[in-house]
């Protein structure tokens, strides 16, 4: 049995890369566990569906999401949502190590398909030796977390 590796990810908001979080997670943990870590790291409180996309480097069109391998919340797999042309995989059953990522690889994460919180995830390091801790763990954060629903916060100011 191989010893799990530790993956160090930098997760930044796509629209404001000055706001980011560094998360460490074991390779034998799931993408769903990474999602939960990101959810907490950005101080979100209202759960929504999500997907991870292994998009091609440099691609900027929205078409990149339909062409990329997708790993999603299990509820998205219950209906086809018009994606019959594409194989979508369950994030709860996909381990980080299954992605065969290399250092400096970037991919994308979308939280909340309605409000569309896009994130860029960069694999900074893969470590073979690491402290025994409970993972995933948030190790660093930069920038204040934006409100999950900024339009509602603005409405509250006027009341």
From CA 153, how far away is CA 148, in angstroms rounded? Answer: 9
Percent with pLDDT over 90 in the chain = 73
From CA 145, how far away is CA 147, in angstroms rounded? Answer: 6
Q: What does pTM read for this prediction?
A: 0.90
Contact 22, 31 (CB under 8 A): no
From CA 146, how far away is CA 4, in angstroms rounded? Answer: 33
Q: Please give the average per-residue pLDDT across 25-44, as a whole number.
A: 98
Contact 98, 29 (CB under 8 A): no
Judged by DSSP in three states, 140 sits in: strand
From CA 49, how far away is CA 75, in angstroms rounded? Answer: 8
Token pair belonging to 30:
């799931």
More confident residue, 27 or 58: 27
Least confident of 56-60, 95-99, 147-151: 56-60
pLDDT band at 57 (very low <50, low <70, confident <90, very high): confident
Helices (H), the chain: 31-41, 63-67, 150-158
Which tens digits make up the pLDDT trace of 76-118? 887 655 555 677 899 999 999 999 999 999 999 999 999 999 9
Range 6-158: architecture per CATH? Roll (3.10)
For residue 154, what pLDDT is reported?
52
């Amino acid at each position: 049995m191989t010893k799990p590796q530790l993956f160090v990810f930098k997760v930044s908001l796509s629209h404001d890369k000055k706001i980011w979080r560094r998360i460490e997670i074991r390779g034998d943990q799931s993408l769903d566990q990474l999602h939960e870590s990101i959810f907490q790291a950005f101080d979100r409180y209202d759960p929504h569906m999500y997907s991870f996309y292994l998009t091609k480097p440099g691609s900027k069109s929205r078409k990149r999401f339909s062409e990329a391998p997708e790993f999603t919340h299990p509820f998205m797999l219950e209906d086809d949502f018009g994606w019959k042309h594409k194989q979508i995989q369950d994030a709860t059953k996909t381990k980080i190590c299954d992605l065969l990522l290399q250092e400096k690889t970037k991919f994308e994460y979308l939280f909340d398909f309605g409000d569309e919180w896009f994130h860029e995830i960069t694999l900074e390091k893969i470590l073979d030796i690491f402290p025994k801790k409970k993972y995933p763990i948030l190790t660093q954060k930069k920038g204040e977390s934006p409100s999950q629903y900024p339009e509602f916060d603005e409405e509250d100011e006027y009341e």
